[in-house]
Structure 1
Amino acid sequence: MLPSTLDVKTKFIQGFADKTRLRILSCLMDGEKTVSEIVERIQGNQSNVSQHLSCLKGCGIIKGRQEGKYVHYSLRNDQIKELLTMFDTVFEEVQNEVAACDKNDGCLSPKGEETIVE
């Protein structure tokens, strides 16, 4: 049985729902980067960043371009960049309500870190 459009859309949106993935996407807003460039820029570790890049690629949010032994990652298209910019614009308007909301705290681990939802 094929997943419904709503299920696939939910999976796509969950691709954005992680702090590390948002940091990676922010890093890619100004152009393509290799894994090591991303790791250095966001101060992450390579294994973790690679897992998140795989998730983002699987969700259709980013793409990779092989050049020799390196893969250069970038946002899938201008619409993804526009969507990320729109997230920031809308967030500026609602950040106080979001900060005060305890309804989505179940999405956080006991340490207050986002859980990986894939």
Structure 2
Amino acid sequence: MLKVDMDTKMKFLSGFSNKIRVQILECIKDDEKTVSQIVNELNGNQSNISQHLACLKGCGLVVSRQEGKYVYYRVRNQLVRDLLTMIDVVLEDVKKDVECCERHIE
């Protein structure tokens, strides 16, 4: 089993700890998109989306490439896409417990 430093693991998981970041990940899970495309799809604002993309990029979940004046963002690789799918699979199994959880700490 791989041994990962707990602080590093927590930094990585912080990418999933915000609703907008998860929405962004879902938005670009299958196709790369520009910030403008993500903003339009999520009905967000450019500044906020850009800040969250920077966090996701810093956590290693998202990569970008520049083409002319546009920057395209995509989920890093198939492993991250698989992780997003696995989160949905696990959540389906524990959904009722999560919905009833009163110990959720923000």
Q: TM-score range by the shorter chain?
A: over 0.9
- Give 1:80's aligned residue: 80
- Give 1:63's aligned residue: 63
User: Stretches of 4+ moved more than 3 A in 1?
Assistant: none
TM-score, with length taken from structure 2? 0.94
CA distance in 1, matches of 2:42, 2:96: 26
Instruction: Map residues 20-99 of structure 1 onto 2, 5 A cutoff.
Output: 20-99=20-99
Where does the alignment leave 5 or more consecutive residues of structure 2 unmatched?
none
Deviation at 1:29, TM superposition (A): 1.3
TM-score, with length taken from structure 1? 0.85
Deviation at 1:40, TM superposition (A): 0.4
Deviation at 1:7, TM superposition (A): 0.2
CA distance in 2, matches of 1:52, 1:23: 10
SS of the equivalent of 2:30 reads coil
CA distance in 2, matches of 1:95, 1:17: 17
Q: May I ask how many residue pairs the two structures share in their alignment?
A: 103
- Give 1:7's aligned residue: 7
SS of the equivalent of 2:44 reads coil
Where does the alignment leave 5 or more consecutive residues of structure 1 unmatched?
108-118
- Give 1:103's aligned residue: 103
SS of the equivalent of 2:102 reads coil
Q: Deviations over 1:4-38 (max 9, x none)?
A: 81101111011111100010000011210000000
**What amino acid does structure 1 have at the position aligned with 2:74?**
S
